[in-house]
Structure 1
Amino acid sequence: MKRPSNLVKAVDRSVNILEELANHEEGLGVTELANRLDIHKSSIHRLLSTLVYRGLVKQDPKTDNYKLGLKLFELGSRIFNDLEIREYAKPYLEELVVATDEAVHLVIMDQGEIVYIDKVESSKTIRMNSQIGKRVPVHCSAVGKAMLAYYPKARVDQIIKEQGLAKYTENTITDLKELKEHLTKIKEQGYAIDNVEHELGIRCVAAPIFNYSGKVVSSVSVSGPTIHVTKERVEELAKLVKDTAMKISSQLGYRR
């Protein structure tokens, strides 16, 4: 970007200080900053005093070095919290529908349940019995298990304690030990399968979506009747779903 003619010198210098501190986890002193940025020590000191006052910078009481403050994290978090995941995910959901010709869902976890927040239908005449806003259990849905696999064990225990392990079909996992072993496998392979565990005749393949901090925040799935989403197609669909989940994760700032 071309340097503007009306640049505010103090603001520009303040940003330079923040960027320099970001490169030094142990922090830097006034003299070091002055030398690195070619700014007089008295000017650096005044700018630092303002940045400290606003919480953007903090001073280590042991070393007297200056480091980035938590206010920056707070401001950055607000940006990511305000991101509309549906907006960023939509084009990738549509690409996945074209690639698979099956229904695609985007979900989040809310109070231990899965909530559909977006859906793109396939061109096939058989429609999925799902809609935006609908809630489904975590333990027997591919989208739920894809997220649950990346949750801390204590959180998994809490969710199962609150929600239970209700049986929906003959394939539903209703034993906690078996479910945990299943979640370990999901984490290893990077995707989950609902093998007719929630609805008769329906099979789903899902993968987790991560945010900038590496936290699982959503998941995406391909779903359809077992006559279309056959066992033989699972591996092919899993690769496509994982690729889609990673593209959406990248849009949320996730880096492996």
Structure 2
Amino acid sequence: MGRLVPAVTRALDILELFLDGDGTLSAPEIVRRLQLPRTTVHELVSTLAARRYLVPVASEPGRYRLGVRPYQLGSRYAEDLDLAAEGRQVARGVAETCDETVHVAILEDTDVIYIAKVDSTHAVRMVSAAGRRLPAHCTSVGKMLLASLPERELDARFPDGTELAAMTPNSITDPAVLREALARVRARGTAVENRESNADVSCVAAPVRDRSGRVVAALSISVPLIRWSEERRAELERLAVEGAAELSERLGHRRAA
């Protein structure tokens, strides 16, 4: 990495203050929070305002808010995002940490489609592939995605009295039981699959959100039974949550403070 330019770094520090503020800042507040000289802050703020990164607040003299330029840059970045490509990069990092198979999946009707996959290096591992489609109710990623839907959408996709397809003896086949499971997923914030799509594999999953906060995908970690335990589950849930949060940030989502 080349030498960082102090003036650019300070200008970016000013812009990033708006990520956690109330929407407006004054020059004295910037001086206090960044511990910069008043003259430096004045010059940087003036430059950012001239380039439309900041604009004065008409009703509050001396205060500034973000201008249109950061929005334009963010929108351009969002246009170029590739969920599958970003998912592969994040999944690779998670897989390197836990050495288990990591998937990123999206929901289509009542199925999930795996859009990214990184394998474990273990000889015994889950056999799957990007592009594979599975019933959502049988998978941790599917339950995570279904849990994000409004009740009316769940009712339309899983009418009462419908028998759901089973992939293993552990699969949920009753829509009422599925709704109970989804309520637990919402309460917990993660989903767990106990040998419901594969009799020899358990999985954990966490939600991936876009910049609006909407759940658009889920990230899962799949583990053969020979390496599964409650202690391992807790560790993998944490890694899945961290990986899903990283992917969400890449999509423009801001973590809660």
TM-score, normalised relative to structure 1: 0.69
Whether the aligned pair in 1 keeps the contact of 2:88 and 2:117 (CA below 8 Å) is no
**1:1-256 equivalences in 2 (<5 Å):** 1=8, 16=52, 20=55, 32=58, 79-80=77-78, 82-161=80-159, 165-255=164-254, 256=256
Asked whether the equivalents of residues 49 and 55 of structure 2 are also in contact (C-alpha less than 8 Å), the reply is no
1:107 deviation in Å? Answer: 0.9
Q: Note the residue ranges of structure 1 that are not aligned, 5 or more in a row.
A: 3-11, 24-31, 38-67
- Is the CA contact (8 Å cut-off) linking 1:204 and 1:229 kept in structure 2? no
Distance 1:229 1:97 in 2: 16
Call closer, same or farther: CA 1:232–1:127 in 2, change over 3 Å: same
Taking a change above 3 Å as real, the CA distance of residues 101 and 180 of structure 1, as seen in their structure-2 partners, is: same
Task: Give the superposition deviation at 1:211.
Answer: 0.5
Name the aligned partner's letter for residue 96 of structure 2. Answer: V
Map Cα deviations across residues 95-140 of structure 1 (whole Å, 9 max, x no partner).
2112211111111112331111111111111242211111011111
Q: Which one has a bigger Cα radius of gyration? A: 1
Residues 73/149 of structure 1: CA separation in 2 closer, same or farther (3 Å cut): farther
Partner deviation per Cα, 1:19-67 (whole Å, 9 max, x = no partner): 549x7xxxxxxxx48x969xxxxxxxxxxxxxxxxxxxxxxxxxxxxxx
Letter in 2 for 1:166: A
- SS of structure 2 residue aligned to 1:116: strand
- 1:13 Cα deviation (Å)? 8.3
Cα 1:108–1:81 shift into 2, 3 Å:
farther
Range 79-88 or range 172-181, more displaced:
79-88
CA distance in 2, matches of 1:152, 1:187: 12
- Per mean C-alpha deviation after superposition, the further-off stretch among 82-91 and 200-209 is 82-91
For the 8 Å contact 2:201–2:225, the answer to whether it is kept is yes
Once the two structures are superposed, residues 44-93 of structure 1 have per-residue CA deviations (whole angstroms, 9 ceiling, x without a partner) of xxxxxxxxxxxxxxxxxxxxxxxx99xx9999667535411233233321
What is the identity, as a one-letter code, of the residue corresponding to 2:147?
A
Partner of 2:5: none
Q: Identify the range of structure 1 (240-249 vs 124-133) with the bigger mean alpha-carbon deviation.
A: 124-133
Matched residues, percent identical? Answer: 33
Q: Aligned equivalents of 1:237 and 1:131: distance in 2?
A: 21
Structure 1 counterpart of 2:210, which letter? N
Partners of 2:187 and 2:90 in 1: CA distance:
24
Q: What count of residue pairs does the alignment treat as equivalent?
A: 204
Greater shift in the superposed pair: 206-215 or 224-233 = 224-233
Show the counterpart of 1:63: none
